[in-house]
Structure 1
Amino acid sequence: MQLNGKVAVVTGAGRGLGQAYAKALAAAGAAVVVNDLDVELAEETVKAIQNAGGTAVAEGSAIGSTEAADAIVAKAVEEFGRLDIMVTNAGVLRDRSLLKMEDADFDLVVQTHLRGTFTCGRAAAKQFKEQGGNGRLILIGSPAGQRASFGQTGYTASKAGIVGLVRTWAAELERSGSTVNAVIPVALTRMVATIPGMAELVEKADRGEPIPAEVRATGLGTPDDVAGLVVFLASDEAAGITGQAIGAGGDRIAIWSHPSEVVAEVREGGWSADALAEAFPTTFQPHLQAFKPDTVPGVPEGK
Structure 2
Amino acid sequence: MSLTGKVAIVTGSGAGLGAAYAAALARAGAAVVINDVSAEAADRTVARIVADGGRATAFVAPVATSGVAQSLVDTAVTEFGSLDILVTNAGILRDKSFLKMTDDDFDAVIGVHLRGTFTCARAAFGYFKEHEKPGRIIAIGSPTGQRGNFGQTNYAAAKAGVVGMIRTWAIEMKKAGVTANAVIPVAATAMTATIPYFAAAVEAADRGEAMPAFFRHDLGFGTAEDVAGLVVWLASDEAAAITGQVIGAGGDRLQLWRHPEVLESYFHEGGWSADDIQEDLSVELSDHLQTVGDPPFPALPAELDRSVTPA
TM > 0.5: yes
Match of 1:88 in 2: 88
Indicate if the aligned counterparts of 1:61 and 1:72 stay in contact, CA closer than 8 A: no
Q: Distance between the aligned counterparts of 1:158 and 1:199, measured in 2?
A: 29
In 1: Cα distance, 2:195 partner to 2:144 partner: 13
Is residue 188 of structure 2 the alignment partner of residue 188 of structure 1? yes
Task: Tell me how far 1:269 sits from its aligned partner.
Answer: 1.2
Using a 3 Å threshold, how does the CA distance of structure 1 residues 296 and 37 change in structure 2: closer, same or farther?
farther
- Computed over aligned residues only, the root mean square deviation of the Cα atoms, in angstroms, reads 1.7
Aligned to 1:8: 8
**Counterpart in the other structure of 2:58:** 58
- Are 2:36 and 2:62, in contact at CA under 8 Å, matched by a contact in 1? yes
Q: Deviations over 1:268-289 (max 9, x none)?
A: 1111111111122343222221
Q: Aligned partners of 1:196, 1:231: CA distance in 2, in Å?
A: 32
Identify if the C-alpha distance between structure 1 residues 200 and 64 changes in structure 2 by more than 3 Å, giving closer, same or farther.
Answer: farther
Partner of 1:222: 223
Residue segments in structure 2 that go unaligned for 5+ positions in a row: 301-311
Q: 4+ residue runs of structure 1 moved beyond 3 angstroms? A: 198-204, 295-299
Structure-2 separation of matches of 1:4 and 1:47: 19
SS at match of 2:276: helix
Residue 47 of structure 1 corresponds to 47
**1:125 aligned residue:** 125
Shift of 1:103: 1.0
**Offset, 1:252:** 0.3
Deviation at 1:203, TM superposition (A): 4.9
Q: TM-score normalized by structure 2?
A: 0.92
Q: Identify if the C-alpha distance between structure 1 residues 196 and 103 changes in structure 2 by more than 3 Å, giving closer, same or farther.
A: farther
Unaligned runs of 5+ in 1: none
Q: Say if 2:145 and 2:158, in contact at 8 Å, map to a contact too.
A: yes
Residue 246 (structure 2) aligns with: 245
- 1:11-160 alignment, distance < 5 Å: 11-160=11-160
Looking at structure 1, the residues matched to 82 and 37 of structure 2 have their Cα atoms a distance apart, in angstroms, of: 23
In structure 2, how many angstroms separate the alpha carbons of the residues matched to 1:121 and 1:229?
Answer: 19
Preserved CA contact (<8 Å) 1:24 1:231: yes
Secondary structure class of the residue paired with 1:138 = strand
Q: Matched residues in 2 for 1:52 and 1:171: separation?
A: 38
Which residue in 2 is equivalent to 1:276?
277
Q: Structure 1's 124 and 31: CA in aligned 2 closer, same or farther, altered over 3 A?
A: same
SS at match of 1:248: strand
Cα distance change, pair 98–242 in 1 and its aligned pair in 2 (3 A): same
The residue type paired with residue 92 of structure 2 is V
TM-score w.r.t. the length of structure 1 is 0.95
Equivalent residue, structure 2, for 1:263: 264
User: Cα offset for 1:165?
Assistant: 0.7
